[in-house]
Structure 1
Amino acid sequence: MAEKLAPEKRHAFVHNEQKVFEWDQTLEEVNMYIELPKGVPTKLFCCTIQAGHVEVGIRGNPPYLNVRASPHPPLAHDLTHPVKTDSSFWTIEDGEMHITLQKREKGKTWSSPIQGQGILDPYAADQEQKRLMLQRFQEENPGFDFSQAQFSGTCPDPRTFMGGIRSE
């Protein structure tokens, strides 16, 4: 039943009519998907994940994606929120790099992986928060099917509603 509440589609960040990356999220993680250029051997691609920094590129070249998270966001490419590095990882499959960023704050709704870049519009952000709230209900009550449930009005924050998310 949890798969019924999985992200229905990826959100895309497009710059100058070119897709830079796509992304989606669950209660615990944010996933970024980057289509890799053809003709470059897979082993040359690299990705470095730190608590507030993600860097993607081809070895020996400037990074394609270089983003930092900081308490003072002077740069346009800060991560929206910090991540857990010990649980974050990246893979390459079928010409696409998939970066899994483990959220430091489980249940926090991200409006974009990168601050100021590809931010969800208010309607899409509300839909994302509602989906994460239903995912939380499903996780806490596995015997129930919340796939057809709906919220009317403003959805509460999944992190804090009814005492917050239970830690494991």
Structure 2
Amino acid sequence: MSTPQERDAMTEGERAAFDAAALKKEAEEQAALPYKWKQTLVDVSIAIKIPKGTRSRDLTVEIKKKSLKAGLKGQTPVIEGTLLKEIKVDESTWTLDDGELNIHLEKYKGTEWWKCVIEGHPEIDTSKITPENSKLSDLDGETRGMVEKMMFDQRQKAAGKPTSDDLKKAEALEKFKKMHPEMDFSQAKMG
């Protein structure tokens, strides 16, 4: 991978060729894994092909806070190792569909993209991830509040109006002025 400075020095054509080659290499590495995986900000889904007719008792699946092991009993695990990040064990599950073991891992911190599932496995470039559209109603209360505040501030800035933080500062200054009418605030600056 090139440094940001080397990338900035490239022509547009060189950059496009470099990105295409990096994307091709990444796709080949991911295709070579014995499992397929995808993610959202809050979870990771892993799919492992297994022989049709396999039953749950024929599998070994161990989901721990920082590790994962899965495969057929008595054989080398298909996936085993230290997870890139911690997960919520109680909210992580696995299911068996005809010919496929599906593992759902709930991220401990649902605010970041993983570059791989297992440490040491081929990585993806998380800066190229395009998140799917989601609705505000899909978010938990704290995250939703934060996103709504960011959206409000973005609209205010675009319209040349004060952000929510600017409005809070102005409100605090006004309260302080009322509490201290003896003071001169004519030279007061917000910032």
Query: Structure 1 CA distance, aligned partners of 2:135 and 2:114?
Result: 15
- 2:104 corresponds in structure 1 to 100
TM-score with structure 2 length normalisation?
0.51
Q: TM-score, normalised by structure 1?
A: 0.57
CA distance in 2, matches of 1:54, 1:22: 15
**Matched residues, number:** 114
SS in 2 for 1:87: strand
Shift of 1:136: 7.6
Structure-2 separation of matches of 1:118 and 1:136: 31
Q: Which has the higher contact order (CA 8 A, sep 6+)?
A: 1
Q: 1:13 aligns with which of 20, 25, 30?
A: 30
Deviation, 1:44, is: 0.3
Pick the structure with more helix per residue: 2
Q: What is the Cα deviation at residue 120 of structure 1?
A: 1.1
Is 1:50 the equivalent of 2:50?
A: no
Tell me the amino acid that sits aligned with residue 13 of structure 1: Q
Distance 1:64 1:30 in 2: 17
Counting aligned pairs with the same residue, the percent is: 26
**Unmatched runs of 5 consecutive residues or more in structure 1:** 1-10, 69-78, 142-168
Q: CA deviation digits over 1:14-73, x for unaligned, max 9?
A: 33xxx51111112211111111134644430121100011111222333232112xxxxx
Larger strand proportion, structure 1 or 2?
A: 1
Describe the SS at the equivalent of 2:123. coil
What is residue 25 of structure 1 aligned with on the other side? 39
Structure of higher CA gyration radius: 2
